[in-house]
Copies of this chain bind each other. A is one copy, B any other.
Amino acid sequence: MSDKALDSVHHIAITVQDVAKAVEWYTEQFRCDVAYQDDTWAMVQFDNLALAFVLPEQHPPHIGYAMPNAEQYGELKPHRDGTRSVYTSDPFGNVVEMMDDQSI
């Protein structure tokens, strides 16, 4: 362990078959705030990061990292919420979203 600055996880996206039901279940189990919700995806805010619910046919499950050098992983694409990111994957196929930390 060291005293160096560490990178942060911005969000985790998990797949659910019913976004509304997911929001209902998670807000019943956990103290979390609904940050965004429509029929196709939602995001709930926990104390230290956000949890997104996505439909399997629309997005793979992934982890989004706030990075100072996201552009090194490819062209950053803008999203509706103003963030810019690029998707890549680890050597095992786990999807990684590299987010420009200046856009968050």
Residues of A within 8 A of B (CB): 1-2, 4-9, 12, 14-18, 21-22, 25-26, 29-33, 35, 45-49, 51, 63, 65, 67, 90-92, 94, 96
Contact B6 A33 (CB under 8 A): yes
In the bound complex, what is the Cα–Cα distance between A33 and B28 (angstroms)?
Answer: 33
A selection of 14 A-B contacts at a CB cut-off of 8 Å is A1-B45, A5-B47, A6-B32, A8-B46, A14-B90, A15-B92, A15-B94, A16-B94, A17-B92, A18-B91, A18-B92, A22-B90, A22-B92, A30-B65
Q: How many copies does the complex hold?
A: 2
- Which B residues lie within 8 Å of A12 (CB)? 9, 12, 63
Contact B25 A90 (CB under 8 A): yes
In the bound complex, what is the Cα–Cα distance between A84 and B9 (angstroms)?
Answer: 24
